[in-house]
Amino acid sequence: MARRKGQPLDGWLILDKPLGQTSTAMVGRARWLLDARKCGHAGTLDPLATGVLPLAFGEATKTLPFLVDRDKEYRFTIAFGAETDSGDAEGRVIHTSEVRPGVEAVEGVLPQFRGSILQRPPIFSALKVGGQRAYDLARAGEEVELAPRPVVIHALAVETADADSVSLRVVCSKGTYVRSLARDIAAALGSCGHVSQLRRTRVGPFHESAAISLDTVSEIGDGPVREQGRPVPALLDRILPLATALDDIPAVAVAGEAAQRLRSGQAVRHPSPGGSPGLFGVDGTVSASLWLVVTAEDRPVALAEHRGELLVPVRVFNLAS
């Protein structure tokens, strides 16, 4: 029997991922509860991490590349005294140290980790080496060498500390590994360490204050009013508009005929070519040309590049009625 296609649903659900669950499992569960045709997430969280996991449904999945490239915020705890091969509490201990740095010492080394830095990713990562995932090679016992990569640390500060650990808050660019940051901070202090707790508190515009737990989603979605496999209104009410992920991209309204042409992949004249520039290009890099095109009713039509006097569609949204 053919699989049901699910219901048309376009928008965002911000999950608070629990400890021990994979991001892929969260997608599958939410998709089933909402009976959605299409769902994806904006950035994997390891099973040992908790926090903000934005889920995109339907046409919102077309905005995932933009959200994945946005800055992220984490709270994490470094446990001093043991470095592991994975950089977290699940890994094998490879170095130990008796050094337990105090708060003043920790704060003293943090400036060297702020701004643009080079960071060596952990060997237990999804990066590819010779066509194979680094974590597959590491698990097979092979030696893995990963080159340092540029990342940006916008903010880094101590929140709490005790005799054996320190908890910090970091705001960072795409590609930053918190496990590597913890390893390197500990090394700079003449000790060693690993991440014992990790929570993502923000992805782009999505903050943990807007996140809903999987238990709450399940309680609503599995309630007695769910019938014939369709999601209940209370769960649908949690869905945020598609454009929520594009809050830093300026919007411009077009008339009905121009909207239809854009949906068909055709360029149209920009209604106000002297307007404010966009912030992100198609690949998430800084651009002076990207616009969110909407109808007079503020309904998203497309993401379009401003070329001369034209708006050229690069992502077209076919929203359900």
Q: Can you tell me whether residue 54 is helix, strand or coil?
A: strand
| DSSP β-bridge partners for residue 36 | 7
**C-beta separation of 57 from 34 below 8 A:** yes
Catalytic site includes residue 46: yes
Phi–psi pair at 214, nearest 5 degrees:
-65, -35
**C-beta separation of 109 from 166 below 8 A:** no
Question: Alpha carbon of 183 to those of 113, 129, 226, 236, 320: distances in Å?
Answer: 12, 21, 47, 42, 47
Q: Which one of the listed residues 10, 46, 69, 88 is annotated catalytic?
A: 46
CA-wise closest residue to 280 among 123, 69, 92: 69
**C-beta separation of 114 from 153 below 8 A:** yes
Tally Cβ neighbours within 10 Å of residue 267.
17
Which of the residues are catalytic? 46
